[in-house]
Amino acid sequence: MLSKEDNELLSQTAAGTPMGNLIRRYWIPALLSEEIPAPDCAPARVRLLGEELVAFRDTQGRIGLIGEHCAHRGTSLFYGRNEECGLRCIYHGWKYDVEGNVLDTPAEPGDSDFRKKLRHTAYPTHEAGGVIYAYLGPRDKPLFPNYEWTQVPLNQTYVTKCLLECNYLQGLEGECDSSHLSFLHRAVDNARNQPLYKTDTAPVYETEETDFGVRLIATRNAADKQHYVRLSAFVSPVYGCVPAGRPTNELDGFEIHTYVPIDDTHTWRYDIGFHRSRAVQEDEVHRRKQIGPDYLRIRNARNNYLQDRQMQKTVNFTGIEDFLNHDACATESMGPIFDRSREHLGVSDKAVIAVRKFLLSSVKALQEGREPPHIVREARRNWFPHIDCFAYLLPQAIHWRQHFDYLTISGEKENPAAFACRSRLNSSMTNGKTT
């Protein structure tokens, strides 16, 4: 459990709060590229960490993420005219560029330089893999981290976004909790092949702090003197990397489930996935069918996630369709902000505890004037082969780290051999490993 104070500290992310200050030190998803698909298209409203913003793509394709309310008298720039390299307010025509400069105040006298004294809120952005990331922190912004999923060709990656109606931490903790796989996502019919979750419902958990966050390892006993090892990663401050959407023993990418606070009781969940070697097939992104054009899930708390009690007896553990909705039901039904002073943690919550500890110590570092972990400032350290995930069957006699020797505890030892090692593993897979 957490004290009430620590629970509040981790849950509150508005400007000026300790956790809000921490998250603002990192690049985080702000919206999808498809929300502002073309130069001079309609702007998009963006709610992020309690701030009301608007995003637009200007005539030259540059992206602006600026305060929603006009610096003049507050009209929403969402309704503005996106034209000639700027967003123009519909009330009195003030015009802003992507950096928040006021380009024009046409209702003022022609010789007025009033506009030059103004600077509207504007945040840096970076577009990669169908996602527009933003940095909301102080001026000395870090490098955009070259995560592997931001570097692959666009046709090898996919992304969905949907609203989660609770605090971000509830969603994020779900990604760090391998034990729920054996229950929440369990099929009770035999139509789907999930023997590996079923055989051993009480895995052995290991966690280790790394330079990027926490590596999480759940090891289950499997048939034929094997271990079923699931390795996932919490990447600070809001990314949960999981071996989702991949058959066992496949190392061709993974998924990154990201929980970005809109405010303290609403969260955008971004599910990013990528393949290292091939294009994504449309039918792989099954989640899209669960999400409406407004990024709201069709199954939600107001319709009890369309739970089917008969299906719960015969098909799956929840009676609810799709992992996305299982996760939402489990985490939203805790309430908007769960009071963690009331919980009872067990051995299976080891990874959740490790992630909270990491976040609390990062907040403390920032409060004490030290730079928190995983803020990237050096180009030579801006690559992350050791952020990896897999679900793998290994002989019990072999420790997983022997097999995946590029996964060192800290980032200090990383080197280009890491990728070479991984391709060796991929070829061993195609040579007939168990699935």
327 binds, among ligand FES, Fe ion, none (CB under 5 to 8 A by kind): Fe ion
CB of 107 to ligand FES, least distance (A): 7
169 binds, among Fe ion, ligand FES, none (CB under 5 to 8 A by kind): none
φ, ψ for residue 117 (rounded to 5)?
A: -85, -5
Which residue number, 93 or 130, has a Cβ lying nearer to ligand FES?
A: 93
Cβ proximity of 373 and 39 under 8 Å: no
Q: Taking the CA of residue 246 as centre, how many other CA atoms within 13 Å lie in the half-sphere pointing to its CB?
A: 25
What is the DSSP-derived secondary structure letter of residue 156?
G
| Among positions 78, 94, 305, 406, the unique one binding ligand FES when judged by CB under 6 A | 94
Which residue number, 94 or 239, has a Cβ lying nearer to ligand FES?
A: 94
Which residue number, 56 or 254, has a Cβ lying nearer to ligand FES?
A: 56
91 binds, among ligand FES, Fe ion, none (CB under 5 to 8 A by kind): ligand FES
Total of residues contacting Fe ion (CB under 5 A) = 1
- The stretches of 13-88 forming alpha helices (DSSP H) are 18-23
Tell me the Ramachandran region of residue 129: left when phi exceeds 0, alpha when psi lies from -120 to 50, beta otherwise.
left
Q: Does 255 bind Fe ion (CB under 5 A)?
A: no
Which DSSP string do the residues of 116-137 spell out, in sequence order? GG-B--B--EEEETTEEEEE-S
Which residue number, 212 or 323, has a Cβ lying nearer to Fe ion?
A: 323
**Rounded to whole angstroms, how far apart are CA atoms 181 and 392?**
15
Which residue number, 77 or 162, has a Cβ lying nearer to ligand FES?
A: 77
Which residue number, 173 or 327, has a Cβ lying nearer to Fe ion?
A: 327
CB of 31 to Fe ion, least distance (A): 24
Contacting residues for 127 by C-beta, under 8 A, at least 6 apart: 33, 63, 133
CB of 73 to ligand FES, least distance (A): 4
Which residue number, 94 or 305, has a Cβ lying nearer to ligand FES?
A: 94
75 binds, among Fe ion, ligand FES, none (CB under 5 to 8 A by kind): ligand FES
Q: What kind and span of H or E run contains 28? A: strand 27-32
* Cβ neighbour number for residue 290 with a 10 Å cutoff: 17
**Rounded to whole angstroms, how far apart are CA atoms 351 and 329?**
21
CB of 57 to ligand FES, least distance (A): 20
Which residue number, 123 or 270, has a Cβ lying nearer to Fe ion?
A: 270
What is the DSSP-derived secondary structure letter of residue 253?
-
CB of 319 to Fe ion, least distance (A): 16
- Length of the chain in residues, anyone? 435
Q: Does 181 bind ligand FES (CB under 6 A)?
A: no
Q: Is 61 exposed, middle or buried (0-12, 13-18, 19+ CB in 10 A)?
A: exposed
Binding mask 49-88 for ligand FES (x = CB under 6 A): ---------------------x-xxxx-------------
Which residue number, 25 or 72, has a Cβ lying nearer to ligand FES?
A: 72
CB of 121 to ligand FES, least distance (A): 14
Contacts of Fe ion in 313-332 (CB under 5 A) = 327
CB of 59 to ligand FES, least distance (A): 20
Cβ proximity of 78 and 90 under 8 Å: no
Which residue number, 105 or 300, has a Cβ lying nearer to ligand FES?
A: 105
CB of 76 to ligand FES, least distance (A): 9
| Among positions 18, 33, 91, 194, the unique one binding ligand FES when judged by CB under 6 A | 91
**Rounded to whole angstroms, how far apart are CA atoms 197 and 181?**
7
AA identity, residue 132? I
Cβ proximity of 167 and 50 under 8 Å: no
Q: Does 370 bind ligand FES (CB under 6 A)?
A: no
Strand duo 213-222 + 266-274: pairing: unpaired
- Reduced to 3 states (helix: H, G, I; strand: E, B; else coil), residue 138 is coil
Q: Residue 318 is encoded by which pair of tokens?
A: 């929840």
Residues at the interface with Fe ion (CB under 5 A): 327
Residues at the interface with ligand FES (CB under 6 A): 70, 72-75, 89, 91-94
